[in-house]
Amino acid sequence: MRFTSYGGVDAGYSGEGEHFALDDFTYEYKAVPEPAIILGLFTVASFGVGLRRQQKQQQKATSKA
């Protein structure tokens, strides 16, 4: 997005150059399916935790033997 100044009004701030005012700006966006992303992250994290627990149990079993 780029804003350029063309014409303009004297705002009374004793500045130099052209000034512009932006009024009644409307921005529309589409919803992002975030619940699916969050669910995916929790799934990956739970697999990581499960693998880490499994590795710890295997290390305990080999150190006892």
Q: What angle do CA 46, 47, 48 make, to 5 degrees?
A: 90
The mean pLDDT value for 5-32 works out to 68
Radius of gyration of the chain (CA): 29
Predicted confidence band of residue 18 (pLDDT cuts 50, 70, 90): low
The mean pLDDT value for 48-61 works out to 92
The mean pLDDT value for 1-23 works out to 65
Q: What is the pLDDT of residues 21-49, one digit of tens each?
A: 667 778 888 777 678 888 999 999 999 99
Environment class of 19 (CB within 10 Å of its CB; exposed 0-12, middle 13-18, buried 19+): middle
| Whether the Cβ atoms of residue 22 and residue 2 lie closer than 8 Å to each other | no
